[in-house]
């Protein structure tokens, strides 16, 4: 059985949903971020990065959302969460890498500016830019990267729970809903999927 370490309100939600979609045999363990459990010795022995998600498998621990999502898809092929074609799979990975390296980083500047600066004024300036940088990042998804009803077009994939998770940040980041109607419609479709409902309920986010 796999074990997912997560904290509510984090990007680990995407992995939680994917595990539900795959019908995977797993258990979920919640970390108390306000209490600092992610920095405790017990968790750091599992994931020295002190972040979530971490997925414990029978072969070891996997971290970083794109890698974890790809692992779930490839170990549960019957769920059809990723294409078998190498080029199409590369497109899936490219989309998820964009969420990881660009969208998530833009969002993090709102509450984790101390990762990049010590000057309080600089941190406040970063916070003030988040609505702009997040809006610009999601513009690319709205106007080209989102290919249809689902990220890759007609077929649901591991891109979709990841985009759903990132889309849930838009309101708190100050990005107007009307700016990205296609992304918002995707978020609404995702919210109706049983796997998303199950993961949200398990994390107390339903």
Give per-residue pLDDT as tens, 44-87: 999 999 999 999 999 999 999 999 999 999 999 999 999 999 99
Confidence of residue 198 (pLDDT cuts 50, 70, 90): very high
How high is the pLDDT of residue 20?
Answer: 98
Could you report how far apart the first and last alpha carbons of the chain are, in Å? Answer: 25
For residue 115, pLDDT beyond 90: no
Instruction: Give me the CATH topology for the region 2-79+198-202.
Output: Glutaredoxin (3.40.30)
Say yes or no: do domains 2-79+198-202 and 86-193 share a fold. no
Write down the mean pLDDT value for the chain. Answer: 95
Q: CA angle, corner 136, sides to 71 and 142, nearest 5?
A: 65
Question: What is the predicted pLDDT for the residue at 56?
Answer: 98
pLDDT at residue 171 in the model: 97
Phi first, then psi: what are they for 62, rounded to 5°?
-115, 135
Q: If pLDDT is split at 50, 70 and 90, which confidence band does 112 have?
A: confident
For the chain, the domains span 2-79+198-202, 86-193
**Domain range 86-193, CATH class:** mainly alpha
């Amino acid at each position: 059985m796999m074990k997912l370490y997560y904290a509510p309100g984090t990007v680990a939600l995407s992995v939680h949903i994917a595990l539900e979609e795959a019908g995977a045999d797993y258990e979920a363990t919640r970390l108390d971020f306000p209490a600092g459990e992610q920095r405790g010795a017990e968790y750091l022995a599992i994931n020295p990065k002190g972040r979530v998600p971490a997925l414990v498998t029978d072969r070891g621990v996997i971290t970083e959302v794109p890698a974890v999502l790809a692992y779930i898809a490839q170990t549960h092929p019957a769920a059809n969460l990723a294409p078998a074609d190498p080029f199409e799979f590369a497109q899936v990975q490219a989309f998820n890498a964009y969420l990881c390296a660009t969208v998530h980083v833009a969002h993090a500047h709102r509450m984790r500016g101390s990762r990049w600066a010590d000057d309080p004024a600089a941190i406040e300036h970063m916070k003030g830019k988040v609505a702009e940088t997040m809006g610009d990042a999601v513009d690319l998804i709205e106007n080209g990267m989102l290919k249809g009803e689902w990220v890759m077009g007609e077929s649901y994939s591991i891109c979709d729970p990841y985009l759903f998770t990132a889309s849930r940040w838009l309101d708190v980041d100050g990005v107007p809903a009307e700016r990205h109607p296609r992304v918002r419609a995707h978020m609404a479709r995702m919210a109706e999927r049983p796997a998303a409902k199950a993961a949200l309920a398990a994390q107390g986010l339903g």
